[in-house]
Amino acid sequence: MTGRKTQNVIVGTVVLVALFVLIFGMAFLSEFHPGESNEEYTFVANQVGLLSEGDPVKFNGVKVGKVTGIALDQETRRVRITAQVQAGVRISKGSAVNIQNVGLMGERMINIELSPSKETVPPGATLEATYDYGIAETMAAAGQVIEDARVIIVDLRTVLDSTVNRPGFAPRVNGIVARADTVVLRLDLLVAYLDPKVKSAVADLSVAGKSARNMAQKAEPVVDRVVERADKATAELEPMVQDLRVVSTDIRALVAKTKNGESTLGKLANDDKFYNDLSSAVVRADSLVHRIQKKGLDINVDLW
């Protein structure tokens, strides 16, 4: 009976030790510390990558908590992350919350870079978080870039094979270059031939312009004198025309007398007044003609 009891004690002791080890192991794996209290925060991000429950939450690289839940908000289409942080460790206002994948193995965590502000965020607050691409995402992006580069290289090789690598491509290009060189040489010769002629023509035009200006300057006084004399002649012509009108009027009056039969030719011949009037009119007409000829004017007067 004593052996039986001893066996039961040993079995019970082993069970108790195994249970203690099991509980302690579970607490250790879940990072449970007896007597320790935690505070909960919520982080909102557009992307979380491979972040999962149980991943650490660190303040400036020091672990202070862990992720307890990840859920997609159906209304905002954003990810809500809940995390427990040790009580008494507060997040200062203005801190940056980053979801990171670090290390070669792609360790995932939430790292909070604390700001120097003295004000803190109260427990239960919701903070904005950003997603930093880690090595895994970078390698994936690099793989895509490499694949795109491979496609570009294949396309470039195809283009080269259809142009530069073709047997007739180089001779055609060389021919075009040779013809272009010939055209350039001809243009140079043409410019060299025309340049002196253009310069000479410009010089001749300049000389002609100067000569024309000199002639204009020399002729200006002569033109002024001609204009002045023309103005003077025009001013003197007006009284001559008035005298001519008077003479014409007198002669017409005399002729009218003969036509009206106021006197016969004998009476007119013996009429001293008629003779004197006629003589006076002839003298005045002769004087007017001399004045006109002296001024160099050619005027035809039809008295009848």
CB neighbour class for 243 (10 Å; exposed up to 12, middle 13-18, buried from 19): middle
Q: What is the pLDDT of residues 138-150, one digit of tens each?
A: 666 677 778 888 8
Name the domain boundary from 101, 117, 132. Answer: 132
Total number of domains constituting the chain: 3
Which of 132, 149, 178 marks a domain boundary? 132
Q: Return the residue matching tokens 């011949």.
A: 269
The per-type count for the chain, helices as H runs and strands as E runs, is 5, 9
Average pLDDT over residues 97-112: 79
Contacts of 288 (CB under 8 A, 6+ apart): 240, 243, 244, 247
Give the pLDDT confidence of 59-85 residue by residue, as tens digits.
Answer: 988 899 999 999 998 888 899 999 999
**Does the residue 139 lie in any domain?**
no
Residues 53 and 86 in one domain: yes
Q: How far apart are CA 276 and CA 283, in angstroms?
A: 10
- Tell me how crowded residue 58 is: count the other CB atoms within 10 A of its CB: 19
Q: What is the domain range of residue 11? A: 1-30
What's the full length of the chain, in residues?
A: 304
Is the pLDDT confidence value at 3 over 80? no
For residue 100, pLDDT over 60 is answered with yes
The residue out of 86, 111, 132 marking a domain boundary is 132
Same domain, 45 and 8: no
